Amino acid sequence: MEQHHNAAPERTERHGLTLRETLQDRPLLLIRLTVAALGILTLALAWNDVLSDLENREVAARERLRTQARIRARAAGETIQATLERFDFALMVTRAAVPEGLPAVATQGRMVIGSLPPELVLQQFLIDADGYLSYSSLGPAPRNYLGDRDYFRALASDTGDRMQISPPVLGRLTGKWSIQIARPVKRNGHFDGVVSLAVSPEAWTRQLARFETAPLDTLTLLDRNGHVLLRTLQGHEHYGKQAPQQRDYILHPERPEGDYVAHGAVDGVLRQYAWTRLPSGLVMLSGIALEQALAPVHEINQWTLIRAGISSALFTLVVITLLVALQRYERLVRQLGVREEHYRGVLTHMGEGLMVIDDKGRIVDSNPAFSVITGIPASEARGQPVSVLESADAGEAGLAARLASPGPEHWETDFPGVRSEGPRYIGHAVVSCVHDAHGHVTHRIALLTDVTEQRRRDNEIWHQANFDLLTGLPNRALMSDRIESLLRQARRNQGCVTVMFIDLDNFKPVNDLYGHDTGDLVLGQVGQRLANLFRGDDSVARLGGDEFIVAMAADASPEADAALARKVLDSLSRPLTVAGRELHISCSIGIAHFPGDGDNADDLINRADQAMYKAKGRGRAGWST
């Protein structure tokens, strides 16, 4: 019994664990079911759109064909009507010549036929009131009775004056098919015959052929009763035939145009027809073969179905792949979490400060090293402008000014940094840009370091390389650079540069009597006197030993040289008090000028050195050029 009671809780515990595991897996199961349901719904909607597009494409194509058929019927009708008007004009011109006799009619006939397209008019002829042929442009002909022709009887019985167009008839003399375009001849208001043009239906049909675009498309010219006058496709087989009488252009003569879809009465081809009624009463009928015209659309629809099938298969494969991938979701999330923790650890413990800046120049994130360098906690820095990191007098050299102006993708700069507590420092920022998908800069990443000590050491090294340690004056290298700068300015302004070479007189006895320490103090006071004597753009340097150089932008003239030399001689001739002793020294001066004595720093210094030795040769405490 005791074992039985122990087993029951164990089964209950196992059941509870299974339930908890199921509950833990349920979000993943729910995601799978959602993905599957969305996949099925997406396929259903996509196929509905595909089938709808197929239907809409078919409807749009048929509508385009309907419009095309109407446009073609109108264009062909205008061409036919224009030709008919030319025929009618020719008839009226010839008819006007009838009262003048057959010679006048013949003359007008030749002119009329010559003005019309070749091969279009087979002949022009005149039928008298009794129905016999009285004139033909083809020349003399046997006596021929034409009074039984429909167009003759129609014009003879008509009291008006209208143009009559007959269906194609087979000529009794020529043996050729022709369409008769005729008008009545009136004498004193009574019927006195018919003037007519025999038009070749084959030649006239060729005028319509240029409107066709497909082999089975047709253009058909009908009279008001539906008789075929012209037809571009197998036209000679339709001469004498009549269109079905149930067509709208026959049943409704008041309608100007219309369209319909029907199978051809002869060839059985399904066509989109459109018709238009001409001012002459004729009907121009345009037919476009649907199977040929819709073939590209059907091909597109077929390819659309194939692509839709392939896309559906690929989409199904993607959904299945996604469902399989979801099984690994939790493991990948765990791995990503470990990796993110690793990256956070790297950012937390890196020595450089890291700062993320938005496109407005505000700090949006930072790491602990940032706070150590700047003294600003990350929570306080977030949302602050970058200008809080530097002094108010930073100006254009500051980090905030550089960020506000457009620049390269990657750059670095020093900036005068301030801490909320503690001394100022020199910061160095390395800035890189982060872009969005459109290439616009959204953020900047800046790595910050405190380079105060490094810059101090750099300045010391630069100062030691360019200044004399004893006097604090520039050395020869820095002086050469300054002379070159004066020369560039003088070349631009066509000015002059003066270089003075100063060498102390009797300086060696000072070192011998009082020691080198006293000599160094003397050189220091000499350098100070020269520095006080020349200010502004003038430069004073110590070359070494007891030699000094002065460079300035000054006019080259004996008077100016003498004034400069006296100023230096007077200053250095005054007694020097060194270590409680009063010492007297003097100097010799050599002067060189640009452009007369040289066009570079070395030449001018050497020329001034030579002039100084000339001054010493004359006696000390003097000067020379």
Question: Is the N-terminal amide bond of 140 cis, ω within 30° of 0?
Answer: no
User: Residue 357 pairs with which residues in a beta bridge?
Assistant: 363, 444
Rounded to the nearest 10°, the torsion over CA 339, 344, 347, 349 is -110
pLDDT confidence of residue 1? 44
Query: Regarding beta strands 576-578 and 177-187, do their DSSP bridges make them parallel or antiparallel, or are they unpaired?
Result: unpaired
Strand ranges, E, within 137-269: 164-165, 169-170, 177-187, 190-199, 218-222, 228-231, 257-263
pLDDT confidence of residue 334? 65
Q: How far apart are the first and last CA of the chain?
A: 130
What percent of the chain is predicted at pLDDT more than 70?
Answer: 90
pLDDT confidence of residue 335? 64
Residue 12 has pLDDT above 50, yes or no: no
Residue 24 has pLDDT above 80, yes or no: no
Spatial separation of the C-alpha atoms in residues 227 and 281, rounded to whole Å: 12
Spatial separation of the C-alpha atoms in residues 406 and 427, rounded to whole Å: 21
The least confident of 8-12, 86-90, 172-176, 364-368 is: 8-12
Strand ranges, E, within 73-156: 121-127, 133-136
pLDDT confidence of residue 386? 83
Q: 502-522, pLDDT tens digit by residue?
A: 999 988 888 888 888 889 999
User: Residue 590 pairs with which residues in a beta bridge?
Assistant: 501, 624
Tokens of 393: 């007098």
Q: 304-329, pLDDT tens digit by residue?
A: 999 999 999 998 999 888 888 877 77
The domains found in the chain, sorted by start residue, are: 1-120+200-327 (3.30.450.20), 341-457 (3.30.450.20), 467-624 (3.30.70.270)
Coil, strand or helix: which one is 326? helix
Spatial separation of the C-alpha atoms in residues 504 and 510, rounded to whole Å: 11
Q: 572-599, pLDDT tens digit by residue?
A: 999 988 888 888 889 999 999 999 999 9
The size of the chain, in residues, is: 625
CB neighbourhood size of 417 (10 A): 24
Spatial separation of the C-alpha atoms in residues 463 and 545, rounded to whole Å: 19
Rounded to the nearest 10°, the torsion over CA 330, 331, 334, 338 is -160
Q: 39-52, pLDDT tens digit by residue?
A: 899 989 989 988 99
The closest alpha carbon to 530, from 477, 569, 478, belongs to 569
Residue 16 has pLDDT above 70, yes or no: no
Edge to edge, what strands does the sheet with 410-417 contain?
A: 363-366, 353-358, 441-450, 425-435, 410-417
CB contact at 8 A, 235 and 222: no
Residue 18 has pLDDT above 90, yes or no: no
Q: Which residues are catalytic?
A: 546
CB contact at 8 A, 402 and 413: yes
Tokens of 500: 């003075």
CB contact at 8 A, 573 and 586: yes
Edge to edge, what strands does the sheet with 497-505 contain?
A: 539-544, 547-552, 497-505, 586-594, 623-624
Q: 471-497, pLDDT tens digit by residue?
A: 989 999 999 999 999 999 999 988 999
Tokens of 36: 């599957």
pLDDT confidence of residue 336? 63
Higher pLDDT among residues 486 and 393, named by residue: 486
* 404: enclosing H helix or E strand: helix 399-404
Q: 330-341, pLDDT tens digit by residue?
A: 666 566 656 666
Coil, strand or helix: which one is 546? coil
What percent of the chain is predicted at pLDDT more than 90?
Answer: 34
Please name the residue that has the structure tokens 């199978």: 263
What average pLDDT does range 367-389 have in this prediction? 82
The closest alpha carbon to 590, from 564, 572, 571, 570, belongs to 564
Q: 396-441, pLDDT tens digit by residue?
A: 767 777 777 777 878 888 888 887 676 788 888 888 888 887 878 8
Spatial separation of the C-alpha atoms in residues 131 and 194, rounded to whole Å: 8
Spatial separation of the C-alpha atoms in residues 468 and 544, rounded to whole Å: 8
The least confident of 131-135, 368-372, 395-399, 427-431 is: 395-399
DSSP assignment of 596-612: TS-SSHHHHHHHHHHHH
Handedness of CA 72, 77, 83, 86 (dihedral sign): negative
The closest alpha carbon to 445, from 412, 417, 416, belongs to 412
CB contact at 8 A, 284 and 299: no
The pLDDT-based confidence of 469 (bands split at 50, 70, 90) is confident
pLDDT, mean over the chain: 85
Spatial separation of the C-alpha atoms in residues 47 and 53, rounded to whole Å: 10
For residue 570, how many C-alpha atoms fall within 13 Å in the half-sphere facing its CB? 7
Tokens of 59: 């409807």
Question: What Rg, from alpha-carbon coordinates, does the chain have?
Answer: 57
CB contact at 8 A, 151 and 164: yes
Q: Find the angle CA(611)-CA(612)-CA(617) to the nearest 5 degrees.
A: 95
Spatial separation of the C-alpha atoms in residues 450 and 430, rounded to whole Å: 12
pLDDT confidence of residue 256? 93
CB contact at 8 A, 369 and 354: yes
**Residue 441 phi, psi dihedral angles, 5° rounding:** -75, 120
Higher pLDDT among residues 238 and 285, named by residue: 285
What average pLDDT does range 252-257 have in this prediction? 92
CB contact at 8 A, 269 and 62: no
What average pLDDT does range 251-256 have in this prediction? 91
The pLDDT-based confidence of 205 (bands split at 50, 70, 90) is confident
Residue 610 has pLDDT above 80, yes or no: yes
pLDDT confidence of residue 31? 79
**Residue 99 DSSP one-character state:** G
pLDDT confidence of residue 383? 86
